[in-house]
């Protein structure tokens, strides 16, 4: 049986990023995935590579690097970048103060602070009545996760020679030996990217970090014909969820105001993200509910709250919800990601902030360089 330089456990975006990082450096790579295809968090999200608003410092730098890798490999892999940029709208003066505080920081570099009139001229789909200001960031990009992830895997296989084994569960990692439900494989190194599975491989690694599961609700919405987003859209509630904003001192006043005005949305962890797909439909969300085993049932009341925020932000008439789904990812208040080293030849990697698509390539490079 073939011996590999690297075995990756898990074919989500974190696993694929590690496979790409190794294969692009001439390493032989095998990816093992328990499902018949990637069906987890990596395809249930926005495909929104979010830069501005990530935790300042190392995680923001990972996002910047990941964005560059996405931009480089997407055309090679046949993955469409559907739109670029972020439009962050400030409806409350307290939200505008957060944007004002962000602009002079490293994260504000390259961004523009627009008046409502300027934003309306450049992005007519935005409802700018009553806005205080709009931050435009050019850094973000958006891919269609449900097609981009399998296409990335196919390209890794065809262009870089990565081998894949789907529908095969890994039962033991004792590097250099990896045992699965179908056989035994060998590699010099192993990276386990199993989304910090609380009942899976190396589950004990997460016990001290208060890792729990986060379930989110999302919608696909069909707007009126001709509706066009000029980039991803977020609003006031996003500024108390994304640490790049919420860690600023000015965010405290915004949170207090939102606790008064939007208590129900905050209770469900709702903030607006709206992105557009190639067929014109929008992906809209999302909510956040935490626990050791969140129930797999979507609340229509939560969906209606998200739709209200969408209508308040965008000029949409007669929107039709055509899909509803839930996603799930590991979450920790301690750090946005973790890299564990059970031994010299094994790494266990998890993104615990819902930012895998945004940061995985940068994180994988860090892991490889430090190994």
Instruction: Give the three-class secondary structure for 162.
Output: coil
pLDDT digits (tens, 9 = 90+) for 239-292: 999 999 999 999 999 999 999 999 999 999 999 999 999 999 999 999 999 998
**Interior angle at CA 229, CA 228 and CA 235, nearest 5:** 145
pLDDT of residue 90: 98
Distance CA 211, CA 202 (A): 13
pLDDT of residue 293: 86
Element holding 307 (H helix, E strand): helix 300-313
**Domains of the chain with bracketed CATH:** 1-82+143-208+334-371 (3.50.50.60), 83-140+212-331 (3.30.9.10)
In the chain, what are the helix, strand and coil shares in percent, each to the nearest 5?
35, 30, 35
Token pair listed for 175:
């590097």
Tell me whether strands 346-351 and 184-192 are parallel, antiparallel or unpaired.
Answer: parallel
DSSP-derived secondary structure for 63-124:
HHHHHHHHHHHHHHHT----EEEEEEEE-SHHHHHHHHHHTTSGGGTT-EEE-HHHHHHH-T
pTM of the model: 0.96
pLDDT digits (tens, 9 = 90+) for 85-123: 999 999 999 999 999 999 999 999 999 999 999 999 999
Tell me whether strands 289-291 and 212-222 are parallel, antiparallel or unpaired.
Answer: antiparallel
Query: For a pLDDT cut of 70, what percent of the chain falls above it?
Result: 100
Distance CA 339, CA 248 (A): 27
């Amino acid at each position: 049986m073939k011996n590999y330089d690297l075995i990756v456990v898990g074919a989500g975006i974190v696993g694929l990023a590690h496979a790409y990082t190794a294969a692009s450096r001439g390493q032989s790579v095998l990816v093992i995935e328990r499902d018949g295809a990637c069906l987890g968090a990596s395809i249930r999200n926005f495909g929104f590579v979010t830069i501005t608003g990530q935790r300042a410092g190392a995680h923001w730098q990972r996002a910047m690097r990941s964005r560059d890798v996405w931009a480089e490999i997407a055309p090679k892999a046949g993955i469409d970048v559907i739109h670029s940029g972020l439009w962050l709208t400030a409806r409350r003066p307290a939200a505008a103060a957060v944007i004002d505080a962000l602009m002079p920081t490293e994260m504000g570099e390259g961004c523009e602070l627009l008046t409502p009139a300027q934003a309306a001229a450049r992005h007519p789909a935005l409802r700018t009545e009553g806005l205080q200001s709009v931050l435009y960031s050019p850094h973000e990009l958006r891919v269609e996760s449900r097609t981009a992830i399998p296409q990335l895997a196919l390209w890794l296989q065809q262009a870089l020679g990565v081998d894949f084994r789907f529908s095969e569960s890994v039962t033991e990692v004792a590097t250099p030996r990896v045992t699965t439900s179908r056989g035994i494989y060998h590699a010099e190194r192993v990276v386990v990217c199993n989304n910090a599975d609380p009942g899976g491989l190396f589950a004990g690694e997460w016990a001290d970090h208060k890792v729990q599961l986060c379930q989110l609700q999302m919608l696909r919405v069909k707007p009126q014909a001709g509706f066009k987003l000029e980039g991803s859209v977020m609003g006031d509630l996003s500024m108390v969820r994304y640490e790049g904003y919420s860690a600023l001192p000015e965010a405290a006043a915004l949170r207090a105001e939102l606790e008064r005005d939007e208590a129900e949305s905050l209770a469900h962890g709702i903030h607006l993200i709206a992105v557009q797909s190639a067929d014109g439909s929008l992906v809209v969300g999302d909510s956040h509910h935490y626990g050791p085993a969140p129930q797999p049932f979507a609340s229509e009341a939560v969906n209606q709250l998200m739709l209200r925020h969408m209508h308040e932000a965008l000029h949409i008439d007669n929107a039709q919800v055509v899909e509803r789904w839930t996603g799930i990812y590991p979450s920790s208040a301690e750090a946005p990601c973790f890299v564990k080293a059970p031994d010299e030849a094994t790494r266990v990697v998890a993104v615990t902030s819902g930012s895998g698509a945004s940061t995985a390539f940068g994180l994988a490079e860090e892991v490889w360089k430090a190994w």
